[in-house]
Amino acid sequence: MSKTIQNRIVHDEELVFQLQRGDEWAFQLLVRRFRKKIFSIAFGITLNVEESQDIVQEVFLQVYRTIGNFRGDASLSTWLHRITVNRCLNWKRRWVRRFKWPHVSTDSTDGQPAAEPESDLPTPETRVVSAQTRQQIDNALKMLPDQARTVFVFRELDGLSYEEIADATGIKLGTVRSRLFHARRRLKEILQPLVEEEEK
């Protein structure tokens, strides 16, 4: 990937080099290049605008602090994806601890979500959801286990290949296929009543 700044094309490899030298314009270019992509992944996982913006900031600041450790074994984009996923899952754990938010274990891959405990506290979603369709999407995504949702979001939003998803999430290729398969199977079950309702 490349983009121009000061009328010059800068590829990711050069961008990393400049970042490691501590160039501030390179950091600005990095933020500008990846901000929307990171936001969309964060939002796909958290379904919350404000928290996703915080996650975007945390991701870039972590990159700023640790760019010296980046050896280039993976691409810059994959590294950013990995940091974003970790931040999102940490965010989810924070909410679970704070409000006992409806949560599906990250270890669960059978697609069976836990029953939603009733709570009067506003959840991160209820603050942003308004339209019925949006709510249906949010509810359906929420019912997926965290890891399955992450894989699904990478595939559907970012169009990443199975290999790229495996690199970004640190799981095996077979596990990516399996999680994607279970995510879609679960979504089909969730969406089935809605489809039938529409057909009536």
Partner 1 sequence: MTNPYSNACDEALLDRYLDGDLSADEKARMEAHLEGCRQCRRQVAAIAAFSQDLRDRVQQATDSVDFMALEKQVLNKALRQRRSRGGLSTFIGSLKYTIPAAATAGLLLFFAYSNYMPKTAPVPSAIINSFTGSMSSVMIFETPETRQTILWYNEDTNTESEQDAV
Closest CB 172 distance from partner 1, rounded Å? 17
Q: How far is the CB of 53 from partner 1 (least distance, A)?
A: 6
Helix spans in 21-145 (H): 24-46, 49-66, 76-99, 132-142
CA gap 163, 167 in Å, rounded: 6
Q: Which of 5, 74, 89, 128 binds partner 1 (CB under 8 A)?
A: 128
For partner 1 (CB under 8 A), the number of binding residues is 42
44-73 binders of partner 1 (CB under 8 A): 44, 49, 52-53, 56-57, 60-61, 64-65
Binders of partner 1 among residues 68 to 127 (CB under 8 A) are none
Residue 172 is a binding residue for partner 1 (CB under 8 A)? no
User: How far apart are alpha carbons 53 and 40 in whole angstroms?
Assistant: 10
117 phi/psi in degrees, rounded to 5: -75, 145
CA distance 28 to 141: 33
DSSP character at residue 125: T
What is the rounded CA–CA span in Å between residue 8 and residue 96? 45
| Angle separating helix axes 76-99 and 146-157, nearest 10 degrees | 140
- Binds partner 1 by CB under 8 A, chosen from 12, 16, 18, 43: 43
Determine, following the binding rule CB under 8 A, whether residue 193 of this chain makes contact with partner 1.
no
Residue 173 found at the interface with partner 1 (CB under 8 A): no
Token pair of 96, please? 């679970």
Binding positions for partner 1, rule: CB under 8 A: 24, 27-28, 31-32, 35-36, 39-40, 43-44, 49, 52-53, 56-57, 60-61, 64-65, 128, 133-134, 136-138, 140-141, 153, 155-157, 162, 180-181, 184-185, 187-188, 191-192, 195
